Structure formats: structure tokens, C-alpha cells
């Protein structure tokens, strides 16, 4: 059924405070594949000198109840794209306040769905400084025809047409989804075959944000010399599901402070229009 545009744009989600620990940071890193290249990955999987991956910002204040509050057809929602911009390095432990809003709602028309831009801002709960801005593009397939503005959301990043400068192969472990769900998203379709079939999948699928996080971890390894704080922005579009046990091939185009990326399973593109912005190493570092 069509959504109520006025209700959606005025959606009141109270600010909340979340605490996360070093244990949460260690768990997230393991869940997106860090720890497989030891000792190089030690800064992400042990407490001494612990670094938080910037993409952990999407789970430190995990909250998805807004979809029900907005009156969306939950069973027909697809996560289309995810962006994160870091305003300061994410601490390995801390407390954050989250502020949520629907930034835009575009009407694709009756029977064609709606595109929603859901923005979450994270602030340090101690000093109030901005930590990160998250922008999710949500395709609500069952909620078009509400009379809202037409539009498509932010333009996708154009991946270069030349051959990739570097390609990284990453195995998706059979237990990957079971591990990642402990970071917040416990939708059973990621681990329960019956739940996956009821959602239209032959077998459980990996969380899109896990695939996204694995791609960002590859950028940290390959383009940031494993200095996580140098990754200041990361975005990609979800184009096909990934199953635990499959293999990701992550193609990287290295252009100075910008890294473009695409991830594939065989010939199927599963992440596209990927863009990472990297903080250059300062001349006096």
C-alpha cells in the first residue's frame, strides 16, 4: 500500500545513546574477515593497539525499527546502497548518540515502489563531536504511488573503465553470517534455511553489510597500509546476494586519495559503484 509521505518525513525517532566495547570492535573485525592474515591483522583482533574499522559505524548504534514505524511493507524492503562518512576516527570503544531522519523519499509510481534515503548521524556522547554520518538507500518495493517527488537518490560512483589495478580474493566462510549477525542484524534469513526460503532465497544469504564490510576491510589492507583511520568515506551499491561458502573477488582501482571498487562472485557483480576516500599520509608522519 502507498506510504503516507507527510508521516514519513515527520517520522519521530528519539535520539538514543549506545555504548560499545573493545569486545564489540574485535567481534566486528572478525565478522568481516579480519584476522585471517596474521600477524599483519593483529591491530584489529587484539586489544593492544586496537583499531576500529570505520565501517563498524553502521552497527555501533544498530536500529531498524523505524521501518515499522514508517508503516512500510517490511517484507518487500531491499537495502540498495550504503554510505558512511567519518568525521573523526572511530574509537575502539565508547558511547555515541544517534540522530535519525528520512532525508528524502522518492516515488517511483504505483506498483514500482519508493526510494528512501535514511540518514543517521552519530555523535560522541562525551564531548558531542560528530563521529560519522550514515546514509542508507532503501528500496521499498511495495510502497510506491504515494504522490511524492520523483527522483533516484545520489548518483552512483562511476567505476573506471580500465582494468583493475589490484584484485583481492576473499573466502566467505560457512559460518560468516552466523558471526556477523552477532553485530546487530539478527534477521533469521541469514542463518535459517526455512526463513530464507520464505523470503524467496534457495538458502541463507550473507548480510549485504557484511559483504560491504569485507570490501572495506580489503581497502584498509590494500590502500591504507592497515591504518584504519585513513579510510574516511566508503560507499557501494548492493547488486546481488552472496552466500556463505562462496568466494569474493574484489577489484580495486587506485587513484590517489580515491579508490574505486567492485566485488564479484564468479561473473556475478555483488557490489558495484564502490568508492573509498583515503586520508593521505601527512608529510611529517
Set of cell numbers at residue 251? 577489484
What contacts 24+ positions apart, CB below 8 Å, involve 7-15? 7/70, 7/71, 8/70, 8/71, 8/102, 8/105, 8/116, 9/102, 9/105, 11/66, 11/69, 11/70, 11/101, 11/102, 13/63, 13/66, 13/69, 13/100, 13/101, 15/97, 15/98, 15/99
- Catalytic residue check, 190: yes
127 catalytic, yes or no?
no
Residue 254: beta bridge partners? 259
In the three-class reduction of DSSP (H, G, I as helix; E, B as strand; rest coil), residue 178 is classed as helix
Residue 168: name the closest of 49, 36, 30, 27 by CA. 36
C-alpha 55/C-alpha 53 separation (Å) is 5
Instruction: Quote the cell numbers at residue 12.
Output: 519521530
H or E stretch including 77?
strand 77-86
The whole-angstrom distance between residue 10's C-alpha and the CA centroid of its chain comes to: 25
Gap between the Cα atoms of 29 and 41, Å rounded: 10
The 3-state DSSP class for residue 233 equals: strand
Among residues 24, 185, 251, 272, which one is catalytic?
185
Which of helix, strand or coil describes residue 175? coil
Residue 284: partners with Cβ closer than 8 Å, 6 or more residues away: none
Choosing from 24, 41, 143, 190, the catalytic residue is 190
Q: Which residues are catalytic?
A: 185, 190
Amino acid at each position: 500500500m502507498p506510504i503516507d509521505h507527510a508521516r514519513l518525513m515527520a517520522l519521530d525517532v528519539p535520539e538514543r545513546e549506545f555504548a560499545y566495547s573493545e569486545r564489540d570492535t574485535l567481534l566486528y573485525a572478525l565478522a568481516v574477515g579480519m584476522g585471517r592474515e596474521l600477524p599483519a591483522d593483529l591491530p584489529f583482533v587484539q586489544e593492544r593497539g586496537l583499531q576500529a574499522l570505520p565501517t563498524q559505524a553502521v552497527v555501533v548504534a544498530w536500529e531498524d525499527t523505524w521501518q515499522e514505524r514508517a508503516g512500510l511493507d517490511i517484507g518487500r524492503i531491499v537495502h540498495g546502497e550504503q554510505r558512511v562518512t567519518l568525521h573523526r576516527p572511530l574509537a575502539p570503544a565508547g558511547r555515541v548518540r544517534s540522530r535519525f531522519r528520512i532525508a528524502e523519499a522518492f516515488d517511483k509510481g504505483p506498483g514500482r515502489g519508493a526510494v528512501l534515503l535514511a540518514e543517521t548521524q552519530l555523535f560522541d556522547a562525551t564531548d558531542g563531536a560528530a563521529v560519522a554520518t550514515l546514509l542508507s538507500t532503501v528500496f521499498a518495493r511495495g510502497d510506491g504511488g504515494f504522490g511524492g517527488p520523483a527522483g533516484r537518490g545520489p548518483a552512483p560512483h562511476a567505476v573506471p573503465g580500465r582494468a583493475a589495478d589490484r584484485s583481492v580474493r576473499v573466502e566467505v566462510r560457512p559460518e560468516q553470517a552466523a558471526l556477523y549477525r552477532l553485530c546487530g542484524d539478527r534477521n533469521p534469513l541469514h542463518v535459517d534455511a526455512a526463513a530464507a526460503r520464505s523470503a524467496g532465497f534457495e538458502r541463507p544469504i550473507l548480510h549485504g553489510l557484511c559483504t560491504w564490510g569485507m570490501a572495506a576491510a580489503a581497502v584498509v589492507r590494500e590502500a591504507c597500509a592497515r591504518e584504519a583511520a585513513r579510510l574516511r568515506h566508503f560507499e557501494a551499491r548492493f547488486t546481488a546476494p552472496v552466500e556463505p561458502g562462496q568466494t569474493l573477488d574484489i577489484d580495486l582501482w587506485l587513484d590517489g586519495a580515491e579508490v574505486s571498487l567492485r566485488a564479484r562472485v564468479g561473473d556475478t557483480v555483488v557490489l558495484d559503484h564502490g568508492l573509498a576516500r583515503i586520508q593521505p599520509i601527512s608529510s611529517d608522519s
